[in-house]
Copies of this chain bind each other. A is one copy, B any other.
Amino acid sequence: MRIAELSRTSGVPVPSIKYYLRIGLLPPGERTAPNQADYGQQHVHRLRLIRALVDVGGLSIAAVGDVLASLDEQGANLHDALGAAMGATFPHDKGEDDSARRAAREWVETFLDERGWDDVDRDCPTAEVLIDAVTTMGRFEYLDSLELVNVYADIMEKLAPFEVAWSGRADTPEGVLERAVVGTVIGGIAFSAVRRMAHQHVSSRMFGDAADS
Contacts and interface: CB of A to CB of B under 8 A. Distances in A.
A169 B183 CA distance: 34
Interface in A119-177: 119-121, 124, 126-127, 129-130, 132-134, 136-137, 139-140, 142, 144-145, 147-149, 151-153, 155-169, 176
A63 interface: no
A21 interface: no
Q: What is the copy number of this chain in the assembly?
A: 2
A84 to B, nearest CB: 12
Contacts of A200: 83, 86, 117, 119-121, 124, 126
16 contacts: A55-B132, A56-B132, A79-B211, A120-B197, A121-B200, A133-B186, A133-B189, A133-B190, A136-B186, A137-B186, A152-B195, A153-B194, A160-B195, A184-B196, A184-B199, A191-B191
